[in-house]
Structure 1
Amino acid sequence: MTERVTETELLALATAALTRGGMAQADSRQAARILVMAELAGLTTHGISRVGQYLDRVKVGGIDAAAQPQVMRVMPALAMVDGQNGIGPLVGMTALEAAMAGARDCGIGAAFARGSNHFGPILPYALIAAEQGFATLIASNATTTIAPWGGRDTRLGNNPIGIGVPNPGGDPVVLDMALSVAARAKIRDLAASGDPLPEGWATDAEGRPTTDARAALAGFLLPVGGHKGYGLAVMVDLLAGLLSGAAYLTRVKAWDKTPEVAQDLGHVFIAIDATKLADTATLTSRMADFIGILHATPAADPARPVMLPGEREIATLKRQRQDGALVKAADLARLRALAG
């Protein structure tokens, strides 16, 4: 069951729910913006359903809803952000703005955040930055769900990484990917519905490949690209976790197993002022040519033309902004209850 609801209403409900949960209203709107954009883009596992998950942890002391992230600018283009165990998307927005501020002054800026929690998907941050002319590289570490290549126990998170490039003449190009073949949230959804997993998504607790979603939740995720995905997951944790001063690897606490304990997640945001690399006309022309070359590729299946990273999600976001979003009725009901 779904209901159609406007972006304005979703943003108001999410803001109200987070404010009732203990956040300052201005901070609530910042965090809600990320989750609502995710919902509208079709990233529903990281959308408005996360409001309730975050507030459940607030209730048991795992997250401080009233936290005010602190920014320390250690160099003109480099900032450290202490999230103070706040709501993740607020910490993420604070770090993104710190990175963009450094890029405005120096052409490139970076912000490393610690003391954070799940910060939603990367796509909304990259889109917000691209609208202001910034290319971005954004990554976070996460709860351990992936075994090191050749290992049979989890040591690494399904660490997301994203790259966004602005396009003055049209939609930006945004890659937003976790480093497992599939996100754990998708496996939870399949376990709840009783449907099987596609092959190659996960293993059971003994490291054997499985299509049983419940067995997969007790096991671990398989990295995309085998040892290459494992290597990327390691490097993201070094950047986002170790260098930020946050927890890393098995030092990260599992929000679903110990919701009352601070996770201390780390994020890294790197922003590049693309206007310093090329004037608007040049960048517009080159992006149009680049995109045109890929779009002109003959499709193996004529019903599925070649698309760029993020193109489907951005199209969904634009359509649902115009027509309203189809939201799961259960998610919307809970959000309305939390909003009072």
Structure 2
Amino acid sequence: MPIYRAEDLQMFAQEVFISIGVSEPYAKIAADALVRANLEGVDSHGISRICIYAKRMMETKTINATPNVKVEKKGTSVLLVDGDNGLGQITSFIAIQEGIKLAKETGVAAVGVRNSNHFGAASYYCQLACTEQVASMVFTNSPPGIPPWGGIKPFFGTNPIAFGFPASNEKPIIIDMSTSVVARGKIILAAKQGDSIPKGWAIDEQGFDTEDPCKALQGAVLPMGGAKGFALALAVEIFAGVISGAVYGPHVRSIYEEIEEKANVGHFFVLFDIEKFMPINHFQQIMTAFLEEMKNVPKQPNVTDILFPGERRYSEWQKRTKEGIFLSKAVDNELQSLAERVGVAFPQALAADSSKFKTINLNMSIKKAACEKPFEEV
């Protein structure tokens, strides 16, 4: 697997966006969000996404490369953002920045976003808030993947929920999870690699549990925790799809569908200025003591350290910042083809041992399977 410096991939992504017509400031934002996901080991939401974004902006015109994002204040602590069908990373960056400003004034800010697109990793926006000592809750809806509890047809998206809390060191607490038992991207990856999936991840079209990723992609991913995960997915849909004024459930369009409709994805951000609740230094002291006490809980056999959410991401970020980002051969080929198409130079790969790199979200058994048709991640 080829390995690249993060800064080289980020500059490449930025130049690709600019070549398509995205303004330089917006191109920097989108490139940063994508490469940050790669640095944290969440490659499914990283630079590989730029290929479908480019197709949507250049060919189908179903993502607006030059959006006029509008922010409207609807109340003392309420903002409503219309993304004008722009990249989700751009719309969400503007939304989170404006929300942080408002939270600094009022203590709490709620920001609804409509007319947006896939915004990448929800953790990115929590991290932006943490740098300003602001706690956050982030929701987004997505194309159908989860059935309502008891159903067999996808209705809700995998609808991520994320929380961010600044801590006294460089490592914020970042909780970022889908409401499905597993990210659909893992099942897609299993299908591409010819692997099986564990029982309990998904059902086929008839509603039966399946270990075949191809049948799972034709069926539905199951919600985490059974009915509880279904309830969380529903709640996210109401925040991001209904309250924001976007679309909901099966009406959210996938960027991978061969259609000429816009996705109209919705997001919802809630931001809390910690300083309005207590002095930030006092908060950090409490958080340090809290985390130390948690980590000192007696450990299970073979457990060397108790990690808080976001700690593993931070460690992977440190490692990949120093050693580079690996890309699968398929993604590498796709990016090089895109580079040729838009006339942007592709960076030179590093000479390194890629065997020491592992994505942090892959845990599958080996059992060959083959899909009749390819599936793309949503």
Q: What residue number does 1:297 align with?
A: 297
Unaligned runs of 5+ in 2: 345-378
Distance change in 2, residues 1:71/1:188 (3 Å) = same
| Map of 2:246 onto structure 1 | 246
* Alignment match, 1:137: 137
Equivalence for 1:226? 226
Instruction: Give 3-state SS (helix, strand or coil) of 1:293's partner.
Output: helix
1:96–1:125 contact (8 Å) kept in structure 2 = yes
Match of 2:77 in 1: 77
Mapped partners of 1:270, 1:111: distance in 2: 6
Cα deviation, residue 319, structure 1: 2.2
1:304 is displaced (CA, Å) by 4.8
How does the TM-score come out when normalised to structure 1? Answer: 0.95
Map of 2:288 onto structure 1? 288
Match of 2:190 in 1: 190
Structure 2 match to 1:39? 38
Deviation at 1:256, TM superposition (A): 2.4
**Separation of aligned partners in 1, 2:256 and 2:64:** 17
One-letter identity of the residue aligned with 1:51: I
Matches within 5 A, 1:58-77: 58=57, 59-77=59-77
Amino acid at match of 2:278: A
Partner of residue 166, structure 2: 166
Distance in 1 (CA, whole Å) between partners of 2:98 and 2:231 is 28
Q: What is the CA deviation profile of residues 125-184 of structure 1, one whole-angstrom value per residue up to 9, with x for unaligned ones?
A: 111210111100000011011110011211111100101101133411010000111111
Q: Which position in structure 2 is the counterpart of 1:277?
A: 277
Alignment gaps of 5+ in structure 1: none
2:127 aligned residue = 127
Residue identity matched to 1:28: A
The equivalent residue for 2:363 is none
**Maintained 8 Å contact 2:52/2:255:** no
Moved more, 327-336 or 177-186: 327-336
Residues 25-64 of structure 1 deviation map (CA, whole Å, 9 limit, x = unaligned): 1111111111111110000000000111111222212211
Contact 2:199–2:210 (CA<8 Å) still a contact in 1?
Answer: yes
Distance 1:304 1:204, change over 3 A: farther
Q: Which residue of 1 aligns with 2:178?
A: 178
Alignment deviations for residues 42-97 of structure 1 (CA, whole Å, 9 cap, x no partner): 00000000111111222212211121221112223211110111111111111111
Question: How many aligned positions are there?
Answer: 339
Closer, same or farther: CA 304–208 of 1 in aligned 2, 3 Å:
farther
Q: Structure 2: how far apart are the matches of 1:18 and 1:301?
A: 49
Matches within 5 A, 1:81-100: 81-100=81-100
CA contact (8 A) 1:135 1:166 kept: yes
Asked if the contact 1:13/1:335 (under 8 Å) is kept, the reply is no
Structure-2 separation of matches of 1:6 and 1:168: 29
8 Å CA contact 2:168, 2:288 repeated in 1? no
Corresponding residue number in structure 1 for 2:116: 116
- CA–CA separation in structure 2 for the residues paired with 1:329 and 1:152: 35
Aligned to 2:326: 326
- Contact 1:246–1:265, Cα closer than 8 Å, also in 2: yes
The residue aligned with 1:204 is 204
Q: Could you say what secondary structure the match of 1:270 adopts? A: strand
Report the TM-score, using the length of structure 2 for normalisation. 0.86
Which has more strand, going by share of residues? Answer: 1
Deviation at 1:329, TM superposition (A): 4.2
Q: Do the aligned partners of 1:127 and 1:172 also contact (CA within 8 Å) in 2?
A: yes
Amino acid across the alignment from 1:182: V
- Correspondence for 2:23: 24
The one-letter amino acid paired with 1:48 is: I
- When residues 287 and 53 of structure 1 are mapped into structure 2, their CA distance, relative to the original with a 3 A threshold, is same
SS of residue in 2 equivalent to 1:138? strand
**Shift of residue 259 of structure 1?**
4.4
Residue equivalent to 2:347: none
Specify whether residues 336 and 110 from structure 1 end up closer, same or farther in structure 2 by C-alpha distance, changes over 3 A only: farther
TM-superposed CA distance for 1:221, in Å, is 0.5
> 2:355 maps to which residue?
none
Structure 1: how far apart are the matches of 2:296 and 2:259? 48
Partners of 1:157 and 1:170 in 2: CA distance? 32
Q: Is the 8 A contact 1:10 1:36 kept in 2?
A: yes
Query: Is residue 309 of structure 2 the alignment partner of residue 309 of structure 1?
Result: yes
Structure 2: which amino acid aligns with 1:45? S
- Map Cα deviations across residues 321-340 of structure 1 (whole Å, 9 max, x no partner): 23322333443453355341
Deviations 1:262-308 (A, max 9, x none): 11010001111112222232112111111112211222133452211
Helix, strand or coil: the match of 1:308? coil
Q: 1:331 to 1:143 in 2, by over 3 A?
A: same
The corresponding residue for 1:50 is 49
Please list every run of at least 4 consecutive aligned residues from structure 1 whose deviation after the TM superposition is greater than 4 angstroms. none
Q: Is the 8 A contact 1:145 1:154 kept in 2?
A: yes
Amino acid at match of 1:119: F
Q: Distance in 2 between the 1:69 and 1:259 partners?
A: 23
- C-alpha change, 1:259 and 1:309, in structure 2 (3 Å) is farther
Q: By how many angstroms is 1:230 displaced?
A: 0.2
1:245/1:266 contact within 8 Å kept: yes
User: Aligned equivalents of 1:194 and 1:27: distance in 2?
Assistant: 38
2: distance between equivalents of 1:118 and 1:272? 24
